[in-house]
Amino acid sequence: MAKRLFILFLLVFLSGYAQDINNGLFVTGEGTVESEPDLAIVRLGTSLQDRTADKVYQATNTTIDAIINALVKIGIKKEDIKSEGVGLYPQYDYADGKQKFIGFQMNHNLSIKVKKIDKIADVLDNATYTGANTISGISFGFQDPEKFMSQARTKAIAAAEKKAKEIAQNANIKLGKIIQITESSYPVDFSRTLETGANAQATIVPGTNSVRASVTIRYEILETKQ
């Protein structure tokens, strides 16, 4: 009985597989668009130490407020500045195998959208002048990534169509209508170009960023050419 059930299951599986391999032609195409970025994300902040939590908290808040005000004065909108990480940590000194409490350290990091690439130097200069002592990095991207994604998608579809025609010609088959089309999405490439300390004099080269799209198209196969 078990053997018969296994044979029956195998026949059903093979029948489904046979139908699956004859349900059309699947082709995949990819498209890539490269362009100079028009958006930078600057990550910087301040790290301060003091004897008491209250003192370091007040000093950190004063510094962050000064940084934000300085950035707003040079044209950065407040909504483009956000806190990305805030931490308060007790600090200890170790001597002769003993732990001695020496105060607190507070870190406050900001993420700043810079919508004019040529303003990056101004952002770094003004931020460090008003108290920023950490620069964790700068990444580059696009204000409207969907515009480039659309272009990449168009290229991907064209590549898939070209591939389908080549396969049909070489395999001597005739293709019908498109039965199905699916897209694989990729995150927009944000290139980290600066990961130094608080060095506003670093040379910053945005280069180009890539947007990539991939589509899979399923074509109906009408007949085999004679």
Q: How confident is the model at residue 187 (pLDDT cuts 50, 70, 90)?
A: low
Are 115 and 143 in contact by the 8 Å Cβ rule? The answer is yes
How far apart CA 80 and CA 20 sit, in angstroms, is 51
Distance CA 118, CA 214 (A): 33
- φ, ψ of residue 202 to 5 degrees: the values are -65, 145
pTM of the model: 0.72
Confidence tier at 226 by pLDDT (50, 70, 90)? low
Q: Within 10 Å of residue 32's Cβ, how many Cβ atoms?
A: 17
- pLDDT at 15 exceeding the cut of 60: no
Whether 198 is in a domain gets the answer: no
Q: What are residue 87's DSSP bridge partners?
A: 107
Cα 67 from Cα 19, distance rounded (Å): 65
Q: Stretch 35-58: mean pLDDT, rounded?
A: 94
Answer whether residue 159 is part of any domain: no
Judge whether 137 lies within some domain.
Answer: yes
The per-residue b/e assignment along 86-115, b for 16 or more CB within 10 angstroms, e otherwise, is eeeeeeeeeeeeeeeeebbbbebbbbbbbe
pLDDT, residue 160, reads 95
Q: State the Cα–Cα distance between residues 168 and 24, nearest whole angstrom.
A: 11
How confident is the model over 203-224, as a mean pLDDT? 84
pLDDT at 204: 67
Residue 219 in domain? no
- Residue range 89-121, pLDDT digits in tens: 999 998 878 888 999 999 999 999 999 999 999
∠ CA 210-207-123, nearest 5°, is 115
Domain harbouring 111, CATH code: 3.30.70.2970
pLDDT-derived band at 184, boundaries 50, 70, 90: confident
Confirm whether 208 is domain-assigned. Answer: no
| pLDDT value at 199 more than 60 | no
Give the mean model confidence (pLDDT) for residues 34-49: 94
Q: Is residue 84 part of a domain?
A: yes
Q: What is the residue range of 121's domain?
A: 39-141
- Cβ pair 150, 79 in contact under 8 A: no
Task: Return the pLDDT at 95.
Answer: 82
Q: What is the DSSP letter of 26?
A: E
146-160: average pLDDT: 94
What's the confidence (pLDDT) of residue 86?
94
Domain count of the fold of the chain: 1
Domain membership flag for residue 27: no
Q: Looking at residue 222, what is its pLDDT?
A: 87
